[in-house]
Amino acid sequence: FCEGYVREYFGLPFVRFLPGSIFYQFIEWKEEKEAKNYPGFSQAEYQLHLADKRLEEIRNLIDRGEEKRELYSKTLDKLDSEILQAIQAVEQAEKEGMNMYLSWQKISEHLSSLSLHLNTFVQRKIPGEIFEEIDDANLRVEKYKHDIQKHIWYSEDLQTKRFVYSIPFPAEYKLFY
């Protein structure tokens, strides 16, 4: 392994088949089938995992020197779709009365990570039209991140600040601030 590779792409899932492979349709079918097994925020987490896979596919296409714009375009559209499905899953859980504050924070952090990776791809030597595709995808990720900030409420005023606690077992607790 190249040490820079491990540092730059740590945490992205392994992909066996890339878009354009004859086996890729099987991967799509399998992922679609598996997505039905996850309710609520688990669905959002699974969709974000798939978004990471799309990101790794893009990285592999770049590393391979792939120049077919349609492969990038299709994969980036799927990345976009995975993000939207994750957001919709959390919105649905929120409509059902669940407190999804921490889930929105996790999605926001995940979108920051996706954007960071897309930025590293844009800095590499890639053909102009593929650069534009990746740059546009990054702008969409940043827009989603901005849009979900309405679900994450911040305030420096301790009198009005919202706190979320996870209490592991019943007991008496004191809060210090």
Please give the model's pTM, rounded to 2 decimal places. Answer: 0.77
DSSP 38-89: --HHHHHHHHHHHHHHHHHHHHHHHHHT---HHHHHHHHHHHHHHHHHHHHH
DSSP state of 134: H
- For the stretch 119-150, pLDDT in tens is 888 888 888 888 999 999 999 999 999 998 88
Range of lowest pLDDT (2-6, 11-15, 19-23, 29-33): 2-6
